[in-house]
Structure 1
C-alpha cells in the first residue's frame, strides 16, 4: 500500500472518532517526503475531550493498520479544540507502535501554520493559536540544550542511523531557525551542515541513505561515523546555546 492509499484508509478508520480536522506536518507536508523512509506525522483534532473510550478506539484503529508496511511510520497526536492553547500539554499520541502522551511542540505548530497539509476538515489557521518568535526560539534552545546535548554523551545511541540523521539535521534546522527565524526541510538542512562545520563524509552518508539505496554500512564506518558526529555535535550545540540562550 502506498502513502496516499494508507492515508485514505486511516481517514476512513478515523471517521468513528468524528475529527474536526486532520493535518499533516513534517516531511509529508513540507515537500521532502521519502516513501518508506520518512515518517507520516499527523495531528487529529477531535470534536470532544479525549476519553478512555477514545483511547481504546485509537489503539484499535492503529492496530488494524499494522499489516500495512508503511503504517509503522504513521504517527498521530489526538486532542480536542479546547486543548490547543498550551504547547506544554501532553496529548494522546500513537507513535513507534504504541500509545504515549507528548506535546505538540512550537516547532510543529509553526510547521502547521507555515505549510501544514489539510487532510480533512478545518485549517490550522482556524483552530491553532500562532506561535510567537520568542516562544519558538526558547523552545529550540531548550531542545538542543536539554535533550540533544546530554544525548551526545551516550555513545551507543550514535551507532544508529536514526540518531545520526535526526541529530545532525535537527541541529542545522535549529541553527537556521535561531539565526533567521524560519523553518527549513531536512534536504535544506543537509545543504547547510557543511557550512556549519559538520563532517562532510557523515553528511554525505545521511544524504545517500535518504535519497539513494546504498549498501549497509560496515562496522568500522558505523563506529567512525558515531565518533565524528559526537566530536562535532557536542561543541556545536554548546556554541549555539551560548549564542542564543
Structure 2
C-alpha cells in the first residue's frame, strides 16, 4: 500500500528529530480514507522548540519525499511542548507543498482525542488538553459564519470541485457537531446532506468522484453545480448560525 510506504519513510525521516509523537487525524484516522484522493492529515509533536536548523531539516525531509506517489497529499503540522496546549496559536505546517503556519483547531484536537491514530510515541490524551464542548461549538459556528459564509460571495471559486466538496461536507459536519454533539466522516456527511436539504445531484456528484470515478466535471455542469451549492449554503449557514450562534 503506497500510503503505508510513505508514512514509513516519513517517520524514518523524522527520527533524527526524536519526535514525542506522530498522530493521524481526518479521513486516515476516521475510517473513510481513500488512497490517492484523501489527504494524509498528520500532527507531529517535537521534543524541543523549532530552531532554524530544525526548520531546514523539515524542509529537506519534505523535499526528499516529493518523489513518492502520494507525497503531495501529505500534510503535517508540527507542535512543540511549550505550545501544544494553545489552540489559538499557529504552528509550523507542511501542506500543499510549502511551509507556512496555522493553528491546530478545536475540531482537529477533538478528532485526535476521539479517534486519533497513533503512528508513533505518546497518545494524544497524554499531551493535548481535552476540548470542552463550548470551545468546540464556538469554533464551529465562527468557522461557518466568518470563513465559509463570506466565501460564497465569489461565484468563480465555486466552479472548482474542492470548494463544493469541502464547503458542503464541512457544513454537514458542523451541523452534526452542533446538533448532536458528534464528529462525523465525509461519508457520513454525504449521507446527512440530503436530509438537510442539500441539492441531491451535487451530493451524488461528490460521492461519485470520491468513491467511484474521480473524473472532473464538464464546464457547464461545474458552473451549475457551483450555483446550486451557493444557493443552498447561504441560507443553510445563516440558519445554522442563527440557531447555535
TM-score bracket for the superposition, by shorter chain length: over 0.9
Note the C-alpha offset of 1:198: 0.2
Equivalent residues in 2 for 1:43-192, closer than 5 Å: 43-192=43-192
Note the C-alpha offset of 1:233: 0.4
- C-alpha distance in structure 2 between counterparts of 1:165 and 1:108, whole Å: 19
Aligned-partner SS, 1:206: helix
- C-alpha distance in structure 1 between counterparts of 2:136 and 2:214, whole Å: 36
Specify whether residues 48 and 215 from structure 1 end up closer, same or farther in structure 2 by C-alpha distance, changes over 3 A only. closer
Equivalenced residues, count: 245
- C-alpha distance in structure 1 between counterparts of 2:215 and 2:51, whole Å: 46
Note the C-alpha offset of 1:81: 1.9
Note the C-alpha offset of 1:42: 0.2
Aligned-partner SS, 1:178: helix
Gaps of 5+ in 1: none
- C-alpha distance in structure 1 between counterparts of 2:186 and 2:154, whole Å: 24
Note the C-alpha offset of 1:219: 1.0
Q: Deviations over 1:52-79 (max 9, x none)?
A: 2111111110000011120000000012
Partner in structure 2 of residue 210 of structure 1: 210
- C-alpha distance in structure 2 between counterparts of 1:82 and 1:191, whole Å: 40
- C-alpha distance in structure 1 between counterparts of 2:238 and 2:120, whole Å: 41
Moved more, 134-143 or 60-69: 60-69
Q: Deviations over 1:157-216 (max 9, x none)?
A: 111111110000000000010001110000000000000000000000000000001543
Partner in structure 1 of residue 3 of structure 2: 3
Gaps of 5+ in 2: none
- C-alpha distance in structure 2 between counterparts of 1:235 and 1:82, whole Å: 41
Partner in structure 2 of residue 199 of structure 1: 199
Note the C-alpha offset of 1:82: 2.1
Q: Which runs of 4+ in 1 moved over 4 A?
A: none
Q: How large is the Cα RMSD of the aligned pairs? A: 0.9
- C-alpha distance in structure 2 between counterparts of 1:165 and 1:221, whole Å: 14
Aligned-partner SS, 1:204: helix
Aligned-partner SS, 2:216: coil
- C-alpha distance in structure 2 between counterparts of 1:66 and 1:45, whole Å: 22
- C-alpha distance in structure 2 between counterparts of 1:173 and 1:66, whole Å: 32
Aligned-partner SS, 1:83: coil
- C-alpha distance in structure 1 between counterparts of 2:113 and 2:215, whole Å: 38
TM-score by length of 1: 0.98
- C-alpha distance in structure 2 between counterparts of 1:145 and 1:51, whole Å: 36
- C-alpha distance in structure 1 between counterparts of 2:120 and 2:6, whole Å: 14
